[in-house]
Structure 1
Amino acid sequence: MVEAEKEQIYIIPLRDTKRAPKWKRAKVAVKDIRVYLQKHMKSDDVKLDRSINEKVWECGSQKPPAKIRVRAIRFSDGQVQAELAGE
């Protein structure tokens, strides 16, 4: 049985997506969320919930949010599952 090892809420800044072309910013933001969680949760296996993707793409590909609040859980097998915090 896989048990939760660590649970954490992160506020991930996404302002740095302005380095990407306007039409790619939401795509870059989703990648940035995954990289941020890999670094802070110390795991390469990160699964993002559909709610995170929908929140980032809410205003289209050109205008992702400036920051996003995410609840991440690392399990004993090393997998990290992330979902939008507050839902």
Structure 2
Amino acid sequence: MAEETKKPAKKKSKKQKEIPPEEKTYYIPLRKTQKKPRAKRAANAMSQVKTYLQKKAGLEEYHMDPSVNEKIWAKGAEKPPKGIKIKVTKTPDEITVTPLD
């Protein structure tokens, strides 16, 4: 009888394919804050950013980088920027919001 030589079966690696992070940029206009009381403009601008992310970007839960807050409050409560550019990065673990320079 002829002996059959069996090759050992190759192990398939079960490495998960890493999904590249999905990035989108948005420009959020903050012009409506100019009609609010002077002392509350920057606070209102932050709430506008949050509502924009919920309505337009469709985000429920996300992590906002503290530098977004610092950029809005940079000139004080009375003079927030007219608009802000942000980058939304979606990974399997979390969604982060960071400002663009």
Is the Cα–Cα contact under 8 Å of residues 11 and 67 in structure 1 kept in the other structure? yes
Unaligned residue ranges in structure 2 (runs of 5+)? 1-18
Question: Under a length normalisation based on structure 2, what TM-score does the superposition of the two structures give?
Answer: 0.71
Aligned length: 85
- Deviation at residue 41 of structure 1 after TM alignment: 2.1
Larger % of strand: which?
Answer: 1
Pick closer, same or farther for the CA change 1:40–1:8 going to 2, 3 Å.
same
**Alpha-carbon distance in 1 for matches of 2:78, 2:87:** 25
1:31 to 47, 54, 59: 47
Aligned pairs for 1:1-87 within 5 A: 6-76=22-92, 79-86=94-101
Q: SS where residue 59 of structure 1 aligns?
A: coil
**Alpha-carbon distance in 1 for matches of 2:54, 2:90:** 10
Larger % of helix: which?
Answer: 1
- Rg: which structure is higher? 2
**Alpha-carbon distance in 1 for matches of 2:23, 2:34:** 30
Unaligned residue ranges in structure 1 (runs of 5+)? none
Q: SS where residue 11 of structure 1 aligns?
A: strand
Question: Under a length normalisation based on structure 1, what TM-score does the superposition of the two structures give?
Answer: 0.81
Q: CA RMSD in A?
A: 2.2
Is the Cα–Cα contact under 8 Å of residues 13 and 68 in structure 1 kept in the other structure? yes
